[in-house]
Amino acid sequence: MGFFYDLPRDVCNQKGYFMPTKRAAKIIDGKKVSEAILAELKLEIEGLKARGITPGLAVVLVGEDPGSQIYVRNKRRTCAEIGMASFAYDLPKETPEKKLLDLIAKLNADPKVHGILVQSPLPKQIDEQKVLNALDPNKDVDGFHPVNKGKLLNGEDCFVACTPAGCQELLLRYGYDPAGKHVVIVGRSNIVGKPVAALLMQKAKGANATVTVCHSRTKNLPAVTKTADILIAAIGVPEFVKARMVKDGVVVIDVGMNRVPDATKKSGSRLCGDVDFKGVSKKARAITPVPGGVGPMTIAMLMKNTVLAAKRRGK
Ligand code: GUN
């Protein structure tokens, strides 16, 4: 199955022989797309503010996980950049579950707060699902509350988890409509694998894909990934997807964000995705880089969901 709108343009060589071109993969630039979305949201927020509504996002961080600290800092900074109010709650890693649940109840009741995000992972004394269940589904801009997850599966209007929504948005903005395509997802996490499968299999615009979800127990995984028209890698293993595991012309969305040792870098490490970018980009039609692919889209979708929450309440 090819993407008919994106066939290689064959050329003649100097002797006039017909030469099929081997083009480099198109880079799906999540940074550029996210900047465009954030610019649109900034204008929308100005309009809402003129009507007396300032969208507000509460971002809750428990503990000092370095990765989570970076994510949370980026989310708060983006709120400020687009004129959204952000409410920061940094709790120590020993915080008892009850204290976090009390904070959620307070935020649920606060009219200035339109969206609530509790950064995961949470320390082990806290039951993450219990915390998610305590969120007001109308403020669950992460799309992790069971009500929103159930509605997504049902094809009802809901808050869609930000990373899956970002993957879909990137595919659509670059003209790779998943309709009728075989989408293979590597990874079955609650945050990405499961919701992106639910999203892309819907009978809806921007979806209608045939979806296969692979995971650690999948037998002969390369045989499955090789059949993908669109491959979404979200397994959390650095450079897991190799060139031999994909077919020519695949569109690759790399959700991974891993830090690996690299002696050639001053810092001694580098960021990489779940896809061996160098190898796979030689075969792919299009591919997201890491960083600069899905990561910025997750934040843009979070902002979009928060503006949506504010507009819904404003009505
Ligand atoms: N941890 C990793 N990704 C996410 C995310 O999208 N939302 C939250 N709340 N925590 C995360």
Residue 312, in any domain of the structure: no
Which atom of ligand 1 is found nearest the CA of 161? Answer: 6
- Using a pLDDT cut of 70, give the percent of the chain over it: 93
pLDDT grade, residue 8 (50/70/90)?
A: very low
- How confident is the model at residue 23, as a pLDDT? 73
Which atom of ligand 1 is found nearest the CA of 121? Answer: 1
The single residue of 140, 142, 254, 276 carrying the catalytic annotation is 142
Residue 257, in any domain of the structure: yes
Same domain, 216 and 137: no
The single residue of 119, 140, 194, 283 carrying the catalytic annotation is 119
Residue 280, in any domain of the structure: yes
Same domain, 172 and 262: yes
Same domain, 280 and 169: yes
Quick check: is 119 catalytic?
Answer: yes
pLDDT digits (tens, 9 = 90+) for 103-123: 999 999 999 999 999 999 999
Residue 166, in any domain of the structure: yes
Residue 12, in any domain of the structure: no
Same domain, 132 and 244: no
| Tokens standing for residue 208 | 């209608």
Pocket test for ligand 1, best of 126, 131, 142, 303 (most atoms within 8 A of CB): 142
- 300 close to ligand 1 (CB < 6 Angstrom): no
Same domain, 216 and 288: yes
Asked if residue 196 lies in contact with residue 185, where contact means CB atoms within 8 angstroms, the answer is yes
Same domain, 199 and 231: yes
The 8 Å CB, 24+ separation contacts for 95-102 are 95/62, 95/63, 95/123, 95/126, 96/125, 96/126, 97/125, 97/126, 97/127, 97/130, 97/131, 100/60, 100/62, 100/126, 100/131, 101/130, 101/131, 101/134
Strand, coil or helix: what is 180?
A: coil
Asked if residue 288 lies in contact with residue 250, where contact means CB atoms within 8 angstroms, the answer is no
Give me the number of domains the chain comprises.
2
Supply the CATH number for residue 116's domain: 3.40.50.10860
pLDDT digits (tens, 9 = 90+) for 184-243: 999 999 999 999 999 999 999 999 999 999 999 999 999 999 999 999 999 999 999 999
- 298 close to ligand 1 (CB < 6 Angstrom): yes
Same domain, 174 and 133: no
The 8 Å CB, 24+ separation contacts for 62-70 are 62/91, 62/92, 62/93, 62/95, 62/100, 62/118, 62/119, 62/122, 62/123, 62/126, 63/91, 63/92, 63/93, 63/95, 63/122, 63/123, 64/93, 65/121, 67/257, 68/119, 68/120, 68/121
- How confident is the model at residue 24, as a pLDDT? 87
Same domain, 179 and 62: no
Same domain, 133 and 173: no
Domain span including residue 223: 161-295
For the beta carbon of residue 208, count every other beta carbon within 10 angstroms: 15
Residue 114, in any domain of the structure: yes
